[in-house]
């Protein structure tokens, strides 16, 4: 399965940081890459736009879900991550994640994993 991960803050550093986090996860190591967009008019060089993650179901998918949620929980301010597979997408905000108890965080990881592998639909994301 291939996923597109977008970080909506306007700061490309957040995307690079998330990419670095994936490299520290054994189940995700080597499965992610930053896809560069064409440079904006008047700018030189490519600008990181999205993170592509290619994983199978199971452990790597659960690792991706848990890692994204942990990364959001550690971010100050308001950060939104959009996970996309084909036509389906799910958005998770740092504000929402930080408001959850440890048990609710575990439940969210399971829900996100199930949503991403297609076995569960969550209306509107979280």
For 109-124, how does the pLDDT look when each residue is reduced to its tens digit (9 = 90+)? 999 988 888 766 655 4
Return the pLDDT at 93: 95
pLDDT of residue 72: 95
| Higher per-residue confidence, 15 vs 101 | 101
pLDDT at 126: 43
User: How many CB atoms are located within 10 Å of the residue 59 CB?
Assistant: 13
For residue range 21-74, what is the model confidence (pLDDT) as tens digits?
998 988 888 889 988 766 667 777 666 578 889 887 667 888 899 999 999 999
Question: Can you say whether the dihedral through the CA atoms of 60, 107, 116, 24 is positive or negative?
Answer: negative
Strands (E), 32-121: 32-37, 47-54, 80-85, 88-93
- Residue 92's pLDDT is 95
| Half-sphere CA count of 83, side-chain side, radius 13 A | 28
Q: Give per-residue burial for 28-47: e unless 16+ CB within 10 Å, then b.
A: beebbebeeeeeeeeeeeee
Q: What distance in Å separates the CA atoms of residue 3 and residue 52, rounded to the nearest whole number? A: 6
Residue 61 pLDDT: 83
Domain chopping of the chain, boundaries: 2-116
Q: What would the pLDDT profile of 79-105 be if each residue is shown by its tens digit?
A: 999 998 888 889 999 999 999 999 999
| Nearest Cα to Cα of residue 14 among 72, 95, 85 | 72
**Which band of pLDDT confidence, cut at 50, 70 and 90, is reported for residue 125?**
very low
């Amino acid at each position: 399965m291939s996923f597109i991960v977008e970080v909506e803050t306007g700061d490309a550093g957040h995307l690079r940081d998330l990419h670095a986090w994936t490299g520290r996860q054994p189940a995700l190591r080597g499965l992610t890459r930053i896809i560069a967009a064409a440079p904006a008019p008047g700018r030189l060089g490519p600008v990181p736009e999205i993170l592509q993650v290619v994983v199978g179901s199971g452990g790597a998918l659960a690792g991706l879900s848990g890692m994204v949620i942990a990364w959001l929980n550690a971010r100050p301010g308001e950060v939104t991550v959009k996970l996309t597979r084909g036509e389906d997408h799910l958005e998770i905000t740092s504000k929402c994640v930080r408001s959850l108890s440890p048990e609710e965080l575990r439940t969210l990881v399971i829900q996100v994993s199930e949503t991403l592998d297609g076995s569960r639909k969550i209306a509107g994301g979280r």
